Amino acid sequence: MKKLIGANWKMHKNQAEARAFLKDLASGLKATQATSVETVLFPPFTVLPAMQQTLEQTGPCVNLGGQDVYPAEDGAFTGEISPDMLLDTGCKWVLTGHSDRRHRIGEDTILAGKKTAFALKHGLSVILCIGETIEQREAGCLKDILTMQIYDALRDVPEKDMDRLVVAYEPVWAIGTGVVASDKDIRTTHSFVRTELDKLPGGSKVRILYGGSVKPENAANILNINNVDGLLIGGSSLDVDSFLQIIHTAQQAA
């Protein structure tokens, strides 16, 4: 399986910054022929058309994804975005269940699940994010929380859509904090997630990413842990040099 490296830009970058980043990224990737890694950028919705146009000039060196999607085709959902709107702006991917949405915006596992199933049904590939808060971990609830997040999300996903699903394990306490989960925590949790996914029809095809304070300095170590099939990166994906370094590290680990 190809390693997957995702860049979650969150609420960062305007159109000019996004275009410049993509041009630099494309030349960096061309120079080093980083072809054994799949790269997906998740920018804000507002820069997607600019990035789609830039990719027409640079060639299709990366894929684009939306940071969120609403589970309806169209209608009175002010502020929301549909799968077709994402496809129309060049997106093949979307994030669901990200901890910012679960914990800052108050999205529950049921809505994250509806988004996951709906986006897959409408042809998008999905990175479903799961992860526990520090309180849940300290209370010994890690496995219960992850199991609930996985099953609530995948209950309505048919086997035929599972090959377009990726799961990102992102401990909430490691996101944007500079604190990375230990090798042992990543190894045991990814092994648990792998076992749970393998129980589902088609689940053995699902790749598992790690996310949470990944940087060029720790990427090689994390990528070499069993059952880590790639990375989802926030802060370090905003700087093109850091992001390229991580992609090259993934190329070596592939």
Q: Per the residue annotation, which of 38, 107, 132, 170 is the catalytic one?
A: 170
- The smaller minimum CB distance to ligand PGA, of residues 96 and 213, is found at 213
Per CB under 6 A, 213 contacts ligand PGA? yes
Closest residue by Cα to residue 6 from 243, 189, 215: 243
- The smaller minimum CB distance to ligand PGA, of residues 12 and 121, is found at 12
Query: Which range, of 20-28, 110-118, 194-202, 211-219, touches ligand PGA by CB under 6 A?
Result: 211-219
- The smaller minimum CB distance to ligand PGA, of residues 34 and 175, is found at 175
Closest residue by Cα to residue 61 from 85, 86, 89, 31: 31
Q: Where are the alpha helices (DSSP H) in 65-168?
A: 83-88, 99, 109-121, 134-138, 142-154
Per CB under 6 A, 8 contacts ligand PGA? yes
Output the smallest distance, CB 103 to ligand PGA, in A. 11
Per CB under 6 A, 170 contacts ligand PGA? yes
Query: Which range, of 57-65, 85-93, 168-176, 217-225, touches ligand PGA by CB under 6 A?
Result: 168-176
Number of chain residues interacting with ligand PGA (CB under 6 A): 13
CB-based contact 236:246 (threshold 8 Å): yes
C-alpha torsion sign, points 92, 173, 9, 68: positive
Per CB under 6 A, 94 contacts ligand PGA? no
Structure tokens at 210: 């790690």
Please pick, from the candidates 49, 59, 158, 176, the single residue that binds ligand PGA as defined by CB under 6 A.
Answer: 176
Structure tokens at 19: 């275009």
Please pick, from the candidates 37, 146, 175, 181, the single residue that binds ligand PGA as defined by CB under 6 A.
Answer: 175
- The smaller minimum CB distance to ligand PGA, of residues 161 and 170, is found at 170
Closest residue by Cα to residue 156 from 198, 186, 212, 200: 200
| Residues facing residue 230 across a β-bridge | 4
CA distance 44 to 6: 14
Angle value at C-alpha 152, between 160 and 82, nearest 5 degrees: 65
Q: Is 170 a catalytic residue?
A: yes
Q: Is 190 a catalytic residue?
A: no
Site string for ligand PGA, 216-235 (x = CB under 6 A): ----------------xxxx
Neighbours of 147 (CB within 10 A): 15
Q: Per the residue annotation, which of 98, 107, 132, 190 is the catalytic one?
A: 98
The residue whose Cβ lies closest to ligand PGA is 234
| Residues facing residue 3 across a β-bridge | 37
Closest residue by Cα to residue 208 from 176, 224, 185, 230: 230
**Residues noted as catalytic:** 98, 170
Task: Catalog residues that contact ligand PGA under the rule CB under 6 A.
Answer: 8, 170, 175-176, 211-214, 232-236
